[in-house]
């Protein structure tokens, strides 16, 4: 096994939040999941359904969000850098805070690590205030989200999107189910 592919026991379970609200969000999330699954030393082990919600603290189209679980041998810093590369390839720019985005990737949790550096805070500092993070996270890792946390966010409306829905379905409200 090469240095980039550590044995499974050396891997850390990490959770990544995905979001997009311009361009083709369903396609962007699918492509981002494929890119995450292809990262060195990384296996995508679970993925949530997608959820649609209105932007928080910002205007613009509704967001599509999901959360994935990976087992990774990358350090948290290397994983964040890799996620930022994936955002760049998806055409992400940061013209102003909370601007609409083709793809946003957040490192939510990295094992049980607590990290606080100028470029990286883990657990992600705002994840506890966001239903679009905690609801999909609870779907794939219920042990990482308490019922009390979820109960505090019930005023935030989010809609679960049927599996397989593409951007055309989202625009028309149709589904493949």
CB closer to ligand AMP, 66 vs 165: 66
CB closer to ligand AMP, 105 vs 165: 105
Which of 124, 131, 136, 158 touches ligand AMP (CB under 6 A)?
A: 124
- Identify which range of 33-41, 55-63, 115-123, 130-138 contacts ligand AMP by CB under 6 A: 115-123
- Identify which range of 23-31, 121-129, 130-138, 155-163 contacts ligand AMP by CB under 6 A: 121-129
Which of 93, 121, 129, 146 touches ligand AMP (CB under 6 A)?
A: 121
Phi/psi of residue 129, nearest 5 degrees: -100, 5
Report, in Å, the least distance between residue 159 CB and ligand AMP.
23
- Binding flag, residue 22, ligand AMP (CB under 6 A): no
Rg (CA), the chain: 16
18 Cβ contact list (under 8 Å, min separation 6): 29, 32, 33, 65, 66, 67, 68, 103, 104, 105
- Binding flag, residue 106, ligand AMP (CB under 6 A): yes
Please identify every residue annotated as catalytic.
92, 101, 104, 106
Round to whole Å and give the CA distance between 157 and 131.
Answer: 8
Number of CB atoms found within 10 A of residue 172's CB: 8
Report, in Å, the least distance between residue 64 CB and ligand AMP.
16
CB closer to ligand AMP, 88 vs 94: 94
Query: What are the Cα distances from residue 31, in Å, to 28, 39, 67, 138, 146?
Result: 5, 13, 14, 23, 30
Round to whole Å and give the CA distance between 78 and 177.
Answer: 38
Residues within the interface to ligand AMP (CB under 6 A): 80, 94, 104, 106-107, 119-122, 124
């Amino acid at each position: 096994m090469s240095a980039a592919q550590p044995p499974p026991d050396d891997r850390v379970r990490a959770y990544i939040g995905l979001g997009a609200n311009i361009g083709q969000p369903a396609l962007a999330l699918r492509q981002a999941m494929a890119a995450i699954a292809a990262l060195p030393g990384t296996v995508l082990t679970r993925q949530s359904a997608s959820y649609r919600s209105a932007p928080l603290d910002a205007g613009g189209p509704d967001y599509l969000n999901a959360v994935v679980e990976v087992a990774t041998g990358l350090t948290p810093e290397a994983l964040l850098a890799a996620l930022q590369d994936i955002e760049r390839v998806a055409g992400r720019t940061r013209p102003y805070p909370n601007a609409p985005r083709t793809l946003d990737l957040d490192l939510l949790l990295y094992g049980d690590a607590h990290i606080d550096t100028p470029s990286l805070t883990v657990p992600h500092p705002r994840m506890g205030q966001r239903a679009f993070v905690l609801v999909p996270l609870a779907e794939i890792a219920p042990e990482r989200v308490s019922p009390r946390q979820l109960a505090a966010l019930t005023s935030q409306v989010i809609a679960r999107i049927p599996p397989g829905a593409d951007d055309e379905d989202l625009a028309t409200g149709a589904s493949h189910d």
